[in-house]
Amino acid sequence: AGTITVLPLEGAADSGGQLASLYFEGRDVGLELSHAKGGGGLRRLTVYAIPMGDDGNAEPQPQVILAEGDSFDSEAVYLSDDQSLLWLAYRESGQRHWLVFDARRIEELARLPASQLAITGDQLTISDPPPALAEAVAAYRPLDPWQRLLWPQHESRVMDARAIANEWRQTATAGADFEAEGRALLAELLDAPVRPIRRQDLPGQWRVRSLQASSLGVFLYPWFKATIEPVGATLRLRKTSGSQRRLGLLYPSSAWPDALVFLGGSSVNDEVQYHYSRGPDGMAEEAWEGDSAGVLYQLAPDRLLMILDADWEGQFELYELRR
């Protein structure tokens, strides 16, 4: 048996149309549902993949997975939290069955009687899966809490932070004399060996200075104050002085033992400080302008590096924390 976390696809019972949009291995993958006449069940599930070309105008490549004639329960459509497996209920000879579909690779994995699946809350348990499905379930990895919160448009700020900073460093033109100290510090921080995170080293008072890089050059700011404190399974970082401040949580990542993921908010002067738009302050319907995301590395027991709000246009901010 295997258990995975699933999310109901709300709205599938109300109307056809776009059900989900995924991204996988250079393709946009979309799932579309259309209803039978008279609103009976779901008539058709079409999966289409759009290769991501330079011009962005590639034609969809549709593939019908569930065709007319099948009877689908449109109120039972689930997607695994990592967006890899799609589960749809249908009826055959009056009995409920499940279709399990690899939503990323556009591949049907199994059709199973209802007795092999059990859903309790957001947990789906499957017993005696056939080989293809067993392999997919074994490969499934539940999302870390931060992955459930991160907006898609902020993914590069976390996943590509170091790559963006290193690319800027390699391609940036020579700067003015006043940038020399900042450029030297940037190179030192990015070249410094990273050690596995020791959570016990982090809480307490810190000094922090910011290095901001963009097409305009590198700007190094003086030292200010910051604190890190435990909050459950996370740590809260707060930059408490200076005109530009940050507040947010540091999350452990199952994939990166040598990093913590930062999700928080940035503010200026006397503005109210908020966390990330999905987090302790609530679950916003859209990202906030002040959202901030990045990665923290430990360079020594008393020295930390953060790479924040990196984008592929070559703009990012580094925090050096010392005590």
Q: Write b or e for each residue in 42-67: b if 16 or more Cβ atoms lie within 10 A of its Cβ, otherwise e.
A: bbbbbbbbbeeeeeeeeeeeeeebbe
- Note the pTM of the prediction, 2 decimals: 0.72
CATH 2.40.128 domain span(s) along the chain: 2-142, 148-322
Give the confidence band of 174 by pLDDT, cuts at 50, 70, 90. low
Residues 6+ apart with CB under 8 A from 207: 223, 224, 225, 226, 321, 322, 323
Give the separation between CA 170 and CA 193, rounded to whole angstroms. 19
Give the separation between CA 97 and CA 132, rounded to whole angstroms. 17
- Most confident range, picked from 4-8, 106-110, 285-289, 299-303: 299-303
Mean pLDDT of the chain: 81
In angstroms, the Cα distances linking 29 to 32, 42, 50, 61, 148 are 10, 20, 6, 10, 20
Angle between helices 180-191 and 161-171 (to 10 degrees): 140
Fold that domain 2-142 belongs to in CATH? Lipocalin (2.40.128)
Fold that domain 148-322 belongs to in CATH? Lipocalin (2.40.128)
Give the confidence band of 27 by pLDDT, cuts at 50, 70, 90. very low
pLDDT tens digits, 93-110? 778 888 888 876 667 889
